[in-house]
Amino acid sequence: MIAPRLMPCMVAAATIALTQAVPPTRQVPSAPPGAAKGVTYEDVTRSSGVSRFTHVSGTAEKNYIIEATGSGVALWDFNGDGRLDLYLVNGSTLERLRRGEDAPSAALFRNNGDGTFTDVTKETGVANGRWGQGVCAGDFNNDGFEDLYVTNFGANRLYRSDRGERFTDVAVAAGVANDSWSTGCAFGDYDGDGWLDLFVAGYVSLDLKSLPPAPGGDGRAGAQAAPAAAGDSGGQRMGAAYAPGAAVCTYRSERVMCGPRGLKGAPDRLYRNNRDGTFTDVSRDAGVADRDGLYGFGVAWFDMDDDGRLDLFVANDSGPNYLYRNLGNGRFDDVSYPSGAALDAQGREQAHMGVAVGDYDNDTRLDLHVTNFANDFNVLYHNDDGRSFTDVSVSAGLTLPSMPFLGWGTDFLDYDNDGWLDLLVVNGHVYPLADRVAWNTSYAQRALLFRNLGGRRFEDIGAAAGEALTTARVSRGSAVGDIDNDGGIDIAISNLDDRPTLARNVGGAASGHWLTLTLRGDPDRKCPRDAIGSAVFLTAGGIVRRGEVASGRGQVSQSDLRVHFGLGRETTVSKLEVRWANGPRVIYPIDRVDTFVTIDQATGHVQYGGTR
Partner 1 sequence: MSGRRARSARGWYIRATALLAAWTLLAAAPAQVRTPDERRATNARQGSATGWVRRAVDALYSGDADEALRIATTELAHDPRDVRAMVVAARARLARGEPVDAYDLLTRALSIDARNADVLYFLGIVSSDLATKELDRLQAIAPDSPRVHQLLGRSLKLQDKRADAVVEYELALKGDPTLVQAMLELADIYREEAHCTEAAALYRRAGEVKATYDGSYGLGVCLAALGDHAAAVEEFRDALTRDESSAVAYFGLGSSLLQLKDAAGAVAALSRAVALEPRMRQAYYLLGRAYASTGQTERSRAALARAVELAKAERADDEAAFTKTPPRRVPQLPQERR
Contact footprint for partner 1 (CB under 8 A): 2, 6-7, 10-11, 13-15, 17-19, 213, 216-219, 223-231, 234-235, 241, 243-248, 252-253, 255, 261-262, 292, 319-320, 337-338, 340, 343, 345-349, 375, 377, 388, 394-395, 399-400, 403-404, 438, 440
Q: How many CB atoms lie within 10 A of CB 97?
A: 17
- Nearest-approach distance from CB 465 to partner 1, in angstroms: 21
- Nearest-approach distance from CB 12 to partner 1, in angstroms: 9
- Nearest-approach distance from CB 220 to partner 1, in angstroms: 10
Q: Which are the contacts of 92, defined by CB distance < 8 A and separation ≥ 6?
A: 56, 57, 58, 103, 104, 130, 131, 132, 153
Q: How far is 29 from 478, CA to CA, in rounded Å?
A: 22
Q: Which of 99, 10, 47, 25 is nearest to 443 (CA)?
A: 25
Start-end of H helices in 361-520: 399-402, 467-470, 508-511
- Nearest-approach distance from CB 385 to partner 1, in angstroms: 12
Q: Which residues pair with 506 in a beta bridge?
A: 40
Between residues 47 and 224, which has the closer beta carbon with respect to partner 1? 224
Residue burial 570-586, b: 16+ Cβ < 10 Å; e: rest: beebeebebbbbbbeee
- Nearest-approach distance from CB 373 to partner 1, in angstroms: 13
- Nearest-approach distance from CB 363 to partner 1, in angstroms: 18
DSSP 524-556: GGT--TT-TT-EEEEEETTEEEEEE---S-BTT
Between residues 17 and 602, which has the closer beta carbon with respect to partner 1? 17
- To which H or E segment does residue 568 belong? strand 563-568
Between residues 45 and 445, which has the closer beta carbon with respect to partner 1? 445
- Nearest-approach distance from CB 8 to partner 1, in angstroms: 9
φ and ψ at 136, to 5 degrees? -150, 155
Q: How many CB atoms lie within 10 A of CB 437?
A: 13
Between residues 252 and 275, which has the closer beta carbon with respect to partner 1? 252
Between residues 329 and 346, which has the closer beta carbon with respect to partner 1? 346
Q: Which of 423, 537, 496, 602 is nearest to 132 (CA)?
A: 496
- Nearest-approach distance from CB 221 to partner 1, in angstroms: 11
Q: How far is 580 from 246, CA to CA, in rounded Å?
A: 52
- Nearest-approach distance from CB 446 to partner 1, in angstroms: 17
- Nearest-approach distance from CB 237 to partner 1, in angstroms: 10
Strand order of the β-sheet with 501-506 is 40-43, 501-506, 490-495, 475-481
Between residues 244 and 609, which has the closer beta carbon with respect to partner 1? 244
Between residues 117 and 373, which has the closer beta carbon with respect to partner 1? 373
Between residues 273 and 393, which has the closer beta carbon with respect to partner 1? 393
- Nearest-approach distance from CB 217 to partner 1, in angstroms: 4
- Nearest-approach distance from CB 224 to partner 1, in angstroms: 5
Between residues 28 and 345, which has the closer beta carbon with respect to partner 1? 345
Helix, strand, coil content of the chain in percent (nearest 5)? 15, 35, 50
Pairing of strands 197-202, 269-273: antiparallel
Between residues 129 and 231, which has the closer beta carbon with respect to partner 1? 231
Between residues 188 and 320, which has the closer beta carbon with respect to partner 1? 320
Cβ-contact 49, 117 below 8 angstroms = yes
Q: Could you give the 3-state DSSP secondary structure of residue 106?
A: coil
Q: How many CB atoms lie within 10 A of CB 193?
A: 15
Cβ burial of 412 (10 Å; 0-12, 13-18, 19+) is buried
Q: How far is 241 from 393, CA to CA, in rounded Å?
A: 26
φ and ψ at 341, to 5 degrees? -95, 5
- Nearest-approach distance from CB 2 to partner 1, in angstroms: 5
Cβ-contact 553, 299 below 8 angstroms = yes
Cβ-contact 53, 499 below 8 angstroms = yes
Between residues 345 and 544, which has the closer beta carbon with respect to partner 1? 345
Between residues 75 and 258, which has the closer beta carbon with respect to partner 1? 258
**Backbone dihedral region of 466: left (phi > 0), alpha (psi from -120 to 50 degrees) or beta?**
left
